[in-house]
Amino acid sequence: DAGITQSPRHKVTETGTPVTLRCHQTENHRYMYWYRQDPGHGLRLIHYSYGVKDTDKGEVSDGYSVSRSKTEDFLLTLESATSSQTSVYFCAISAGQGSTYGYTFGSGTRLTVV
């Protein structure tokens, strides 16, 4: 496909447990993003990265942390999962400024916190 994969595709976890979602790209793109999708809210930006070890917060970053130690991997961690974090999580990549290169999305991870 577009050279971007997310893992796992589905996960069920218990409240209070840590969870890490992985986004892996083979495009050598500089920018990577994590969004969550919920009914009635569209896609909301959680965190993004503009290079190795360079990250910044998005609209809904509380309760989430990220890390990018290699160009190809962007990890999203829920330190202590809550039911409000039940959602579909999408990773996206961009070669450069989004207005020039556009975004490509991964297939998503469906996370259920019980």
Partner 1 sequence: GENVEQHPSTLSVQEGDSAVIKCTYSDSASNYFPWYKQELGKRPQLIIDIRSNVGEKKDQRIAVTLNKTAKHFSLHITETQPEDSAVYFCAAIGGATNKLIFGTGTLLAVQP
Kindly list the residues in this chain that would bind partner 1 in the complex (CB under 8 A): 31, 33, 35, 40-45, 48, 50, 58-59, 90, 92, 94, 97-99, 102-108
Contact indicator for 74, 32 with CB cutoff of 8 Å: yes
**What would the two tokens of residue 93 be?**
């990549």
Task: Report the residue number, 74 or 90, with the smaller CB distance to partner 1.
Answer: 90
Q: Measured from the CB atom, is 59 or 79 closer to partner 1?
A: 59
Nearest C-alpha neighbor of 32 from the set 110, 109, 111, 105: 105
Q: From CA 73, how far away is CA 28, in angstroms rounded?
A: 10
The answer to whether the CB of 74 falls within 8 A of the CB of 58 is no
Shortest spacing between CB 80 and partner 1, in angstroms: 26
CB of 72 to partner 1, least distance (A): 19
- Six token digits for residue 29: 């793109």
Residue 101 CB, shortest distance to partner 1, in Å, is 10
> 17 or 97: whose CB is closer to partner 1?
97
